Structure 1
Amino acid sequence: MTRTVRDAYGARSAEYIELFGGIDAAAEADRTAVLAWARGLAGPVVDVGCGPGQWTNFLSEHDLEIEGIDPTPEFVGAAQRRHPGVRFRIGQAEHLDVDDDDESLGGILAWYSLIHIDPALINSALTEFARGLRPGGGLALGFFEGPELASFDHAVTTAYYWPLELLSARIEACGFTVTGADRRTAPHARTHGFITAIRKPHSTNG
C-alpha cells in the first residue's frame, strides 16, 4: 500500500470504523464463507489489511491463532483498543514481516486489502503471501469483481475491478493453486469476488 492510500484511510478512519468496524457490517454469506475457509487451516493466520480488526477478532473468537496487520496507524490503534485480547501491528501486504523463517503461516486473509494496488504491482503482494505460507497453507481474498480490469473512484481513493478469471490466473502464477472462485451480486452494490487458494508444494527433481 502506498503512502497516499495509507494517509487517505487515516484521514477517514473514524468514518470507516463507524460504517464497517463491526463484523455485523459484513454480509452473512461472507462470514460463513470466510469461517468455512478458516476452519480448514493449520497454523497461525495473518489478516492482511485488517483495518479496525473486525475480521481478525471474528476469527479469533472462533479459536484461530491470528494476528491483524495494517499500514494505517489509526486503524491499528483502534483495533488494539476495541479488541485488546487480539494481536495487531503495523504491516502491509508486500512486507508481512512474519517470523524469520519463511513459510511460517497456515493462512492469510486479504479481505479487500489489495483493491488499491496498481495491477502492474499486485504480484509483489501475492509473491510475499506465497513466501510466508507453508506449502498447503490457505489464502482467501475478497475484492471487487468486474467484467474487465479497470480502475474506479472508490470512496477513499482509486480502486480496481478484477475479473475473477484474471485474478485467479495471477494468484496461480505466484505459487498457488486456486481452490474456489465465486462472485456475488446484490442490488445497488458492486459485485463481490471471493477466491481461495492453497500454497503449492515445492517441486522436486529426480
Structure 2
Amino acid sequence: MAEAAHQHATRAGYDAIAEQYAELFHAELDAAPLDRALLAAFAEMVRRDHPDGEVLEVGSGPGTVTAHLHELGLPMTGIDLSPAMVALARRDHPQLSFEVGDMGALDRPDGSLSGLVGWYSLIHVPAPERQQVVDEFHRVLRPGGYALIAFQVGDDTLHLDEAFGHAVSLDFHRLQPDVVAESLHRAGFEVIARVVRAPEAGSAASEVSQAVLVARRPS
C-alpha cells in the first residue's frame, strides 16, 4: 500500500531533526510533575488489572516516555514512523525494544496489548484518517486494556516549514478534548478520565493548553 503524503512528510521531518529534538526534550518530564503523575496513574492501573501483557507506545520518538513507563514497571515497546528516531531510542535505551511502525496499521494481533500510549502522536494524523487510527488502538487492546492519549488543545493546525535549521513539512493538529473523546467512544472505548492543563513553566513544548485522556476498552 502506498504511503500517505502526511506519513511521508512526518517521517522525513523527524528523520531530519531527530538529534536536535531528542536533545531538547530528553529531560522534559523532569519539569512536568503533572505529566509524571498521569503516567504513574496509568502504569498503576495497567499493572493492577493486567500484570502480564505488552504495553505499546505509538510515536515513541527518542524513547523518553517509553523508558519512563518501563521504570514504572510496565513491559514496554515503542514504535515510531521515523527510522532516525528509532535508532536514537535504541541507542539511548538499549534495554528496551523499539521498532519502525505505523500506528494506523499496528503489527499486533487483535486484543493482544494490555496498554497503549499515544503521547503527542495523534496530533500528526489529519482529521480524515484519525478515526481509523483510534479504531486500530481499540483493535489491539485486550478487553479491560487502557489507552493514554496526550495532545495539544485547539482548533488550528501548526505547520512548520523549518525546525532546528532543517527544511521540514510538519503539521501539528491541535485537538479539542470533546472531539478526541467522541472518537474514542465511536471506536468502542469508555473515557474514564480527562485532564486539561496550561503548559508547564519552562516547557520546551508549544505554549498552548495540553490534554490527556485515559480510555478503557470495556471488558
TM-score normalised to structure 1 length: 0.90
Do the aligned partners of 1:23 and 1:58 also contact (CA within 8 Å) in 2?
no
Residues 163-194 of structure 1 show CA distances to partners (whole Å, capped at 9, x for unaligned) of 11111111111110000111101377111010
- Alpha-carbon separation, structure 2, partners of 1:21 and 1:28: 15
RMSD: 1.7
Residues 71-130 of structure 1 show CA distances to partners (whole Å, capped at 9, x for unaligned) of 1001111111111111111112101102xx310100000000110111121011101111
**Do residues 81 (structure 1) and 91 (structure 2) align?**
yes
Letter in 2 for 1:138: Y
- Identify, as 1 or 2, the structure richer in helix: 2
Do the aligned partners of 2:114 and 2:141 also contact (CA within 8 Å) in 1?
yes
- Alpha-carbon separation, structure 2, partners of 1:45 and 1:24: 19
Deviation at 1:68, TM superposition (A): 0.6
Q: Percent identity?
A: 33
- Alpha-carbon separation, structure 1, partners of 2:70 and 2:194: 25
Determine which of 177, 182, 187 is the counterpart of 1:164: 177
Decide whether aligned partners of structure 1 residues 119 and 25 sit closer, same or farther in structure 2, where only a CA change above 3 A counts. farther
Query: Structure 2: any 5+ residue segments left out of the alignment?
Result: 1-5
Residues 113-165 of structure 1 show CA distances to partners (whole Å, capped at 9, x for unaligned) of 1101111210111011111000110000110112xx32223556111111111
Bigger shift: residues 137-146 or 187-196: 187-196
- Alpha-carbon separation, structure 2, partners of 1:87 and 1:26: 26
Aligned counterparts, 1:26-105, within 5 A: 27-41=32-46, 42=50, 43-98=53-108, 101-105=109-113
- Alpha-carbon separation, structure 1, partners of 2:172 and 2:72: 31
Letter in 1 for 2:123: I
Residues 6-57 of structure 1 show CA distances to partners (whole Å, capped at 9, x for unaligned) of 1011111111011113454561210111111121111310011000100111
Letter in 1 for 2:131: N
Do the aligned partners of 2:59 and 2:121 also contact (CA within 8 Å) in 1?
yes
**Do residues 199 (structure 1) and 214 (structure 2) align?**
no
1:150 is aligned to 156
Question: Structure 1 stretches (4+) deviating beyond 6 angstroms?
Answer: none
- Alpha-carbon separation, structure 1, partners of 2:138 and 2:27: 29
**Do residues 136 (structure 1) and 144 (structure 2) align?**
yes
Letter in 2 for 1:150: D
SS of equivalent to 1:12:
helix
Do the aligned partners of 1:23 and 1:55 also contact (CA within 8 Å) in 2?
no
Do the aligned partners of 1:46 and 1:109 also contact (CA within 8 Å) in 2?
yes
Do the aligned partners of 1:145 and 1:164 also contact (CA within 8 Å) in 2?
yes
2:120 is aligned to 112
- Alpha-carbon separation, structure 1, partners of 2:188 and 2:194: 16
Letter in 2 for 1:127: D
1:185 is aligned to 198
